[in-house]
Amino acid sequence: MTQPLTLTSLPLFPLGSVLFPGGVLALRVFEVRYLDMVRKCQQAGAPFGVVSLTQGSEVRQAGAPDEQFSDVGTLAIIEQLDTPQPGLITLQCRGSQRFRITQRSHLPHGLWIADVGHLDDDLPVPVPADLRNAATALAQVLHTLRQRDPDAALAAAPTPAQLDDCGWVANRWCELLPVPLALKQRLMELDNPLVRLELVGDVLERTGIAPSP
């Protein structure tokens, strides 16, 4: 059995959201600890880790206890970085590989870093016939988003291969659906993309977004 890939001293960005592999994340960065982090990541062509908060807030507050966050997160690759004004950086990132934290530490200036091990990517699993409605409804939603805002990151036209991939369809729905953060985190952590899409399909059926055939 091969040893899992590891990454040491990965800088972390705890957020009140979950980043899925293949997903797009837009950030406005103004805290000193993160301004320095994203500049260094950009210069080195290195990712940072996005983890979902379980306690605390995204913005550090004086006297507040340390943030608490999930052990499983997603690598964020910086695709675009702009500095519209001093002390502010806007980012567009894309989710890459999932990871599990093996050790974490809090630096004096507030940045979290961690040693992590990579989790396996989703295996490509075709969307079964009983879940095709989920893929069809997703294509319609993305088409509507594209019409409303052609520049929206989520509105990029999906390929037929993406719409026939359980993991990709499930992940995009997880980003779009207004479900609790803890549920999104559990769905992201699942190592079976078909099970993830089946659970998403249950939500779509209950809400009437994509009734079963």
Q: Has residue 156 been placed in a domain?
A: yes
Q: What is the pLDDT of residues 46-61, one digit of tens each?
A: 999 999 999 988 877 7
Sheet strands (E) in the chain:
6-15, 24-29, 48-55, 68-69, 72-85, 88-106, 112-118
User: Is 168:138 a contact under the CB 8 Å cutoff?
Assistant: no
Closest Cα to residue 19, out of 205, 163, 192, 189? Answer: 189
Looking at the fold, whether 113 and 146 belong to one and the same domain comes out as no
Q: What is the pLDDT of residues 5-25, one digit of tens each?
A: 557 789 999 999 999 999 999
What's the domain range around 98? 6-118
Looking at the fold, whether 93 and 185 belong to one and the same domain comes out as no
Q: Has residue 123 been placed in a domain?
A: no
With bands split at pLDDT 50, 70 and 90, how would you rate the model's confidence at 1? very low
Q: What is the pLDDT of residues 132-154, one digit of tens each?
A: 999 999 999 998 888 887 666 55
Which residues partner with 74 through β-bridges? 50, 98
User: Alpha-carbon distance 149 to 146, whole Å?
Assistant: 5
Which residues partner with 88 through β-bridges? 85
Q: How many domains does the chain have?
A: 2
Q: Has residue 212 been placed in a domain?
A: no
Which residues partner with 75 through β-bridges? 49
